[in-house]
């Protein structure tokens, strides 16, 4: 199943247009030397939706996130993020755009010379210069969201892998970005900690309605997200009955040999007749 393409004009009209997709990839290609990693990748991410990207190691999943953030430029094709064509933007303008995007890196990428407080406050400190009461309140709020308020003055080296991922999530969401990019947020973590991280991502999706791209190797994580919703009153994730799975703003994208071979929701994925996909999800 090939990815539906969307006219770029509708995506580039305005970042405030709620009907416009948050991300549009159109025929994006990228090579490293002789290695063609992406070969004409096209997809779009509607506002408020979370799209999980699957693929074997080296299939270009993380590369898609870096391309969306403008950290790397593609060899060809166009990428529109929040109404802006990031393939054409100079680095100075990209810094402004990145203010509306949060990213959680594969290995957390916390600044190891800064404390948890300074890591989470980093973006606000860059904007305002001084660590004041308002920043402190927002840092505590973000850390409370990931249930790590007690780690404020610890260094990243003093945290476990799961805690570092949660601090990275707090750092990404502190400015309430319009778009979140998660790069293997549960990679290398035990099932219990993975579940905590997934619950936080679902909480961010359902409570703050943030659009997100999620790269993962773990199919079960994405299935958990597609079949559960966050119950704000009880502050926990609850399973939905099978008939309500379509209500969850969640879709899947599968990459193979640098191309999108599937882009659709949970039911489309389960019903797919593609042998590779059937093998992948079995």
Partner 1 sequence: MELISPAELAKEKVLTVQDYFLFCLQAMANLFRKPLYFADMIQQADAIGVGSLPIVVLTGFFTGAVLALQASNTLERFGSITLVGQLVSTSMVRELGPVLTSLMIAGRNSSGMASELGSMVVTEQIDAMRALGTDPMKKLVTPRVVATVFMLFFLTIISDLVGLLGGLAIAKLLLHLDARQYWYYAYQTLVFQDVFMGLIKPVIFGFIIATVGCFYGMNARGGTQGVGRATTQAMVAASVLILAMDLIVTRFLMATLSYH
- In the complex, the residues that contact partner 1 under the rule CB under 8 A are 66, 69, 71, 91-92, 95-96, 98-99, 101, 103, 105-107, 109-112, 122-123, 126, 171
For partner 1, give the closer residue by CB, 95 or 231: 95
Taking the complex as a whole, the smallest distance from the CB of residue 257 to partner 1 amounts, in Å, to 25
Taking the complex as a whole, the smallest distance from the CB of residue 202 to partner 1 amounts, in Å, to 22
Q: Tell me the sheet residues that pair with 252.
A: 52, 264
DSSP letters for 38-77: EEEEEEEE-TT-EEEEE--TTSSHHHHHHHHTTSS--SEE
Taking the complex as a whole, the smallest distance from the CB of residue 172 to partner 1 amounts, in Å, to 9
Q: Which of 137, 173, 172, 132 is nearest to 152 (CA)?
A: 137
CB 244 within 8 A of CB 206: no
Taking the complex as a whole, the smallest distance from the CB of residue 157 to partner 1 amounts, in Å, to 12
For partner 1, give the closer residue by CB, 146 or 277: 146
Start-end of H helices in the chain: 8-12, 61-68, 91-98, 116-128, 133-145, 161-173, 191-208, 219-227, 266-271, 275-281
Return d(Cα 204, Cα 212) in angstroms, integer. 9
Return d(Cα 25, Cα 238) in angstroms, integer. 33
Taking the complex as a whole, the smallest distance from the CB of residue 84 to partner 1 amounts, in Å, to 14
End-to-end CA distance of the chain: 18
For partner 1, give the closer residue by CB, 76 or 111: 111
Beta strands across the sheet bearing 35-45: 35-45, 23-32, 76-81, 84-85
Taking the complex as a whole, the smallest distance from the CB of residue 1 to partner 1 amounts, in Å, to 31
Q: List C-alpha distances in Å: 106 to 2, 50, 183.
A: 27, 18, 5
Taking the complex as a whole, the smallest distance from the CB of residue 99 to partner 1 amounts, in Å, to 5
For partner 1, give the closer residue by CB, 45 or 110: 110
Return d(Cα 76, Cα 31) in angstroms, integer. 10
For partner 1, give the closer residue by CB, 1 or 89: 89
For partner 1, give the closer residue by CB, 100 or 259: 100
For partner 1, give the closer residue by CB, 125 or 270: 125
Taking the complex as a whole, the smallest distance from the CB of residue 117 to partner 1 amounts, in Å, to 15
Burial of 155 (0-12, 13-18, 19+ CB in 10 A): middle
For partner 1, give the closer residue by CB, 66 or 140: 66
């Amino acid at each position: 199943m090939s990815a539906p393409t969307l006219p770029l004009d509708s995506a580039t009209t305005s970042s405030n247009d709620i009907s416009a997709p948050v991300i549009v990839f159109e025929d994006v290609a990228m090579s490293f030397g002789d290695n063609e990693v992406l070969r004409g990748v096209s997809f779009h991410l509607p506002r408020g939706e979370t799209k999980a990207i699957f693929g074997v190691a080296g299939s270009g999943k993380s590369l898609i996130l870096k391309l969306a953030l403008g950290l790397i430029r593609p060899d060809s094709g166009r990428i529109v993020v929040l109404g802006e064509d990031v393939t054409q933007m100079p680095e100075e303008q990209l810094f402004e755009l990145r203010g509306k995007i949060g990213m959680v890196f594969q290995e957390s990428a916390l600044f190891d010379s800064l404390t948890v407080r300074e890591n989470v406050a980093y973006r606000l400190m860059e904007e305002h210069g001084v660590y004041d009461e308002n920043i402190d309140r927002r840092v505590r709020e973000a850390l409370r969201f990931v249930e790590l308020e007690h780690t404020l003055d610890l260094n990243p080296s003093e945290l476990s892998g799961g805690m570092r991922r949660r601090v990275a999530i707090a750092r990404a969401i502190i400015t309430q970005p319009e778009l979140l990019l998660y790069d293997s947020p549960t990679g290398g973590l035990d099932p219990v900690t993975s579940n905590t991280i997934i619950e936080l991502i679902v909480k961010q999706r359902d409570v703050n309605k943030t659009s997100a791209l999620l790269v993962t190797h773990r199919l079960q994580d994405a299935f958990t997200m597609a079949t559960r919703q966050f119950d704000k009153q009880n502050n926990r994730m609850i399973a939905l009955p099978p008939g309500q799975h379509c209500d969850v703003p969640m879709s899947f994208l599968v990459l193979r040999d640098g191309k999108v071979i599937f882009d659709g929701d949970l039911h489309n994925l389960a019903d797919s007749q593609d042998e590779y996909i059937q093998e992948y999800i079995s």
